[in-house]
Amino acid sequence: MLQITPLHPLFAARVTGLDLRTPLAPELRARIEAAMDAYAVLVFPDQALDDAQQVAFGQAFGELEPDPSVVGDDKRRVGHAAMNDISNLDSAGRILAADDRRRFNNLGNLLWHSDSSFKATPAKYSMLHARVIPPHGGETEFADMRAAWDALPREMQAKLFDLVCEHSLIYSRATMGFTAFTPEELARRTPVPQRLVRRHAGSGRLLLYLSAHIGEIRGWPRPEALALVRDLMEHATQRQFVYRHPWRQHDLVVWDNRCTMHRARPYEDKLYPRDLRRVTLRDSAPTLEQPR
């Protein structure tokens, strides 16, 4: 029997009593979607999925994002084209060297972000599965962007309501001092516009659509824009808005990128393997084209 147990006063819940390796019945999918709309982050413990099963579970909810890697390997470690390799391993399964550019790029996940906010049509759900976890550290934190919006003063909400931000992976990586993109990578990652204030289709609630990928606010001088974004980031990631997930092997965590941010926490990534794999669902349209 499906059981939903809240993990935090504002959002996030644990879901038990189902086996995600088998095809998902439509009524079960509808219950998970309803729980996603309410909680935005769902933890499914003890799901020993392989790549094909994880992909099939994702496909039950809609269209998967193709072409996951940006700073890639010539050879992919993970077999499925729609699967994102969230690990510190190379294609031979070895821990990435301290000076490997893929490692530097991966360190960008330590910044609060929403997945694929740098794509014209960003991500809806991300589904991250733990295959191998390190002995300590490496948690993932989530922040509730609907609660963060609700807690803003009215005057601030009015000031933000119609702002449009420019997002690019290049911006977030530059924040981390990583600028070693090839000309092709630069050309593929030109900034895309996204609304700063969105309405969440699943719950009807307004939210702050923040991400480390923001590098500009349309029509604003950059220092003024970045000062505001930094301030909003601080507001939105106060502890009362944050759920921290300590991983156990075979956890599947599904989050709604439309109304949460997340970040990785550090671990000894030069010593221990951490092998997580992600399947990502596309949102319906660019945020400027979505109803509000």
Q: Footprint of ligand OGA on this chain (CB under 6 A)? A: 86, 109, 115, 126, 128, 140, 262, 264, 276, 278
Complex with ligand OGA: residue 189 or 262, whichever CB lies closer: 262
**Contacted by 86, from ligand OGA, Mn ion, none: CB < 5 to 8 Å by type:** ligand OGA
Total residues in contact with Mn ion, by rule CB under 5 A: 1
Q: Are 195 and 287 in contact (CB under 8 A)?
A: yes
Complex with Mn ion: residue 115 or 275, whichever CB lies closer: 115
**Contacted by 24, from Mn ion, ligand OGA, none: CB < 5 to 8 Å by type:** none
Query: Could you tell me which of 104, 127, 121 has the C-alpha nearest to residue 32?
Result: 127
- At closest approach, how far in Å is the CB of 82 from ligand OGA? 14
- At closest approach, how far in Å is the CB of 108 from ligand OGA? 9
Complex with ligand OGA: residue 53 or 87, whichever CB lies closer: 87
CA distance 71 to 90: 12
Complex with Mn ion: residue 115 or 166, whichever CB lies closer: 115
- At closest approach, how far in Å is the CB of 262 from Mn ion? 6
Mask: binding to Mn ion, 174-213, rule CB under 5 A, as x and -? Answer: ----------------------------------------
- At closest approach, how far in Å is the CB of 275 from ligand OGA? 10
- At closest approach, how far in Å is the CB of 78 from ligand OGA? 12
Q: Which stretch binds Mn ion (CB under 5 A): 2-10, 44-52, 112-120, 210-218?
A: 112-120
- At closest approach, how far in Å is the CB of 140 from ligand OGA? 4
**Contacted by 195, from ligand OGA, Mn ion, none: CB < 5 to 8 Å by type:** none
**Contacted by 124, from ligand OGA, Mn ion, none: CB < 5 to 8 Å by type:** none
Complex with ligand OGA: residue 128 or 147, whichever CB lies closer: 128
Verify binding: residue 115, Mn ion, rule CB under 5 A: yes
Give burial (CB, 10 Å; 0-12/13-18/19+) of 158: exposed
